[in-house]
Structure 1
Amino acid sequence: MAFRFTVAADAPSLYTPMLAITKAIRGSGLPTGLIHLIDLRVSQINGCTYCIDMHSKEARHDGQSDQRIAAVAEWERSDLFLPDERAAFAWAEVLTRTQHDRIDEAYRELQRHFTAEQIAQLTATVAQINAWNRIGIAQHIEGTAVGMAA
């Protein structure tokens, strides 16, 4: 893998707290499988191939079927996801794509399935994977696999 730079090596004082936030999110109480699926969907939107691969593998390891993993890209047209997962995907997409016109609707649907604490956790999850995606895309040289720990 070829890199322009790596945050882990070139800015470890910033990389370490980002990794700590990722670990805190995974220990937040949200279902790990849901976190991996959100990370996968956001990575698909952002085009971070390393993260797409990594989160697909993590989701599979946590018991998600290949069919569900493959369907994440078209979750809106799939009947494989529960209403709470669909609400989480919609929230992730609204935040990642900065769709101000859809945020209130997505939030109302989230409230039907999640507590305020869980909504805050989901929001941090989306923000964190967006940050990792941007780091991964920035540090990798085109034509190589993206490398980072997320």
Structure 2
Amino acid sequence: MERITYNELPKGMFDSLREIEEYLKNSPLDFNLLELIKLRVSQLNGCAYCLDMHHKELKHHGENDVKLSLLSAWEETDFFTDKEKAALSFAEALTMIDHRSLRDSIFERLEKHFSKTEISYLSLTITQINTWNRLMKVFGFKAGYYEVAK
């Protein structure tokens, strides 16, 4: 049930968030990697709308079904590269962060695969999807109706 429909949102509310999305699309990071992160964070946050969206985006961009079906257990499979595993570990740690600081081991693992610039983009991607997840849960946007832009 939608609590607040798209048409009921304050004018321009999503404009800045969409600008960040465009900024991230132009980053040096692989589109599928960013979408995997968004899908995993959405799993952690239980955001049905975002799960639908990012699953469909990944399928549209050629990600295979086995990898998608195993994303919630990525640590137990060989379907993810070390680079993807480092990014997913970081995404989980940053999403589930509490009063403690981010462990150095998480950052050190990232540095093996990403430059500091890329880590900055990863950080923004993770915080951005956490924002979207929380907004969608408040507004109650309906899952299942997202269509990939052609």
Q: Measured at CA, do residues 8 and 80 of structure 1 come closer, stay the same or move farther in structure 2, by a change above 3 Å? A: farther
Which residue is equivalent to 2:129? 129
Q: In the TM superposition, what is the alpha-carbon distance from 1:117 to its structure 2 partner?
A: 0.2
Structure 1 range deviating more: 128-137 or 98-107: 98-107
Q: TM-score when scaled to structure 1?
A: 0.88
Q: Distance in 1 between matches of 2:68 and 2:107?
A: 24
Q: Distance in 1 between matches of 2:17 and 2:7?
A: 10
Query: Is 1:51 the equivalent of 2:50?
Result: yes
Q: In the TM superposition, what is the alpha-carbon distance from 1:102 to its structure 2 partner?
A: 5.3
* Higher RCO (CA < 8 A, seq sep 6+): 2
Which residue is equivalent to 2:139? 139
Q: Distance in 1 between matches of 2:146 and 2:56?
A: 15
Q: One-letter code of the match for 1:115?
A: S
**Count of equivalent residues:** 146
Q: Secondary structure at the match of 1:14?
A: coil
Q: In the TM superposition, what is the alpha-carbon distance from 1:103 to its structure 2 partner?
A: 2.6
Q: Is the 8 A contact 1:8 1:16 kept in 2?
A: no
Q: Distance in 2 between matches of 1:12 and 1:147?
A: 22
Q: Secondary structure at the match of 1:12?
A: coil
Q: Measured at CA, do residues 14 and 103 of structure 1 come closer, stay the same or move farther in structure 2, by a change above 3 Å? A: farther
Q: In the TM superposition, what is the alpha-carbon distance from 1:4 to its structure 2 partner?
A: 1.5
Q: Distance in 2 between matches of 1:11 and 1:146?
A: 24
Structure 1 range deviating more: 112-121 or 101-110: 101-110
| Gaps in structure 1 of 5+ consecutive residues | none
Q: One-letter code of the match for 1:88?
A: A
Q: Measured at CA, do residues 63 and 147 of structure 1 come closer, stay the same or move farther in structure 2, by a change above 3 Å? A: closer
Aligned-residue Cα RMSD (Å) equals 2.1
Q: Where is the helix percentage greater, Structure 1 or Structure 2? A: 1
